[in-house]
Structure 1
């Protein structure tokens, strides 16, 4: 199991043999529904995250360039420097309050692949929805229609060129990097297919 943050939420990836996936997933959903913070573990993770942010300046220049590129293309992204500034003030009660606020309204999007019976994904999704949305006191409510993402594509204005220069964060590293990003038009439908593809 792997949990990662995305720009608009968090992603849980469960990987394993098909006969174990249901058990793993039910364990994960159960832990989300009965979330608790262990003080010792919280302190360890907080220290690890702080060190990761502090070590960001020692990453390779191309990694830093990719990071700045992601900041440019996403609205309301919190830079690592601001996250590092907030971390010392983060306490267990802040996490618990945020957890309840984060799950107050949710949108679930699931992708299930590989060796699995056709009806099994529907059963899995139904179980997840039951945990989140059913019961006398549901863990969460569905998002309002206005809260759904209107688009997942960043469209640059035609002919707009922009250069973002940033000085390397590690003065002892003489290397530099250039990341060139080009957004092009939507390709026409392929053959008899009605699918359209974005080309980047």
Structure 2
């Protein structure tokens, strides 16, 4: 987080958490340091000192959002050896579709989309890295022999695509019942 490579201070961690809560409510697309700083009890100068630049702060916020996603995936895949893609997909869908995570999922979509249209900005590689990280963690849900095959890679890619498609549809429509039924139908095949 800090530009010096030293561990973050308690104040930096506190401000990042406050900025993260703010970004979940307001998004990142039009982030302005003055309103953010005022809302979290800081100043633009302090934020620039701690994060190096506005882009540095955005990268820190994206990393913070990703940490929530990775903690879930690690918890699910770490419960047992190779629980199976269907088991993990169902748990992921419950987590992704929960109403209390709507703001986080909207932030994820925003960051993912921005990384596709602004590949040199603070969003750089967010979408690609997101796919790689999720595929790597989904691989843990597969038996070792399957995960190393082309079919294993194709299955986890299909699961990831299905979850992301369902999530986009859910965020667009708010129809949890229909999107959950669609996810379940695909997992039952």
Query: Normalising TM by the smaller chain, what interval?
Result: under 0.3
Q: TM-score, normalised by structure 2?
A: 0.27
Q: Kindly indicate which of the two structures has a greater share of residues assigned to strand.
A: 1
Q: TM-score, normalised by structure 1?
A: 0.26
